[in-house]
Amino acid sequence: MSVILVLIGFSLLIAASFLFAFIWAVKTGQYDDSYTPSVRILFDNKTINNKTINNKTINNKTINSKNINENEKV
């Protein structure tokens, strides 16, 4: 039966390791801001980088063609 003493010791040790993980998480500020990280994780670094808008985007064309149409109406 004395094996139970050892097992309880282990179970406490494992539980304590989770407690320390929690304390570490609080200490490093993971509980300070509960909102921003949920947004931050959605930024995709690779695809979003290096996007420059230049004159030849499609959007621009539609705007120009609208201009022309409007002018014709008048």
Partner 1 sequence: MQFSEVYLKEVANCYHCGEACDRVDITAEGRHFCCLGCKTVFEILNENNLCAYYEIDKSPGISQKKLDSEKLESAVKSRCSYLDDNQIINSLVSFSDGNISVVNFNIPQIHCSSCIWLLENLHKLNCGIIHSEVNFLQKSLTVKFNHNEISLRRLVELLVSVGYEPQISLSDIENKIKYRSNRNLYYKIGIAGFCFGNVMLLSFPEYLSLETHLESLYKQFFGLLNIVLGIPVLFYSASDYFKSAYNGVKQKTINIDFPISLGLAVLFVRSVFEILTGTGAGFIDSMTGLIFFLLLGKLFQSKTYDALNFERNYKSYFPISVTIVNKGIESSIPVSKLKQGDRVIIRNNELVPADAILFSSSANIDYSFVTGESIPVQKVAGEIIYAGGKQIGGAVEMEVIRTVSQSYLTQLWNKDTFIKKDENRFNSLVNVVGKYFTVIILLIAASAFVYWYPVSLRTAINAFTAVLIIACPCGIALTNPFALGNAIRILGKNKLYLKNASVVERMSKIDTIVFDKTGTITQTGDANITFNGSVLNSYEQKLVKSLVRNSTHPLSGRIYDALESNEILEIKDFTEHAGRGIEGSADKVKIRLGSALFCADNNKILNYPDKAGEKPDTRIFLTIAGSIKGYFSINNIYRSGLEEITSALNENYSLAVLSGDSSGEKENLTKYFNENTKFKFNQSPLDKLKFIESSQLNGRKVLMVGDGLNDAGALKQSDVGIAISEDAASFSPACDGILEASSFGKLARFMRFSKTTKKIIISSFVISIIYNVIGVTLAFQSEISPLLAAILMPLSSVTVVLFTVSSTNLMAKKRGLV
Site of interaction with partner 1 (CB under 8 A): 1, 4-5, 8, 11-12, 15-16, 18-19, 22-23, 26-27, 31-36, 39-40, 42-43, 48-55, 57, 59-60, 63-64, 66-67, 70, 73-74
Work out the end-to-end distance of the chain between its first and last CA atoms, rounded to an integer number of angstroms: 98
- Looking up tokens 């109406």, which residue turns up? 73
Cα–Cα distance, 52 to 17 (Å, whole number): 48
Nearest distance from C-beta of residue 20 to partner 1, angstroms: 9
Cβ atoms within 10 Å of 38's Cβ, excluding its own: 9
Nearest distance from C-beta of residue 23 to partner 1, angstroms: 6
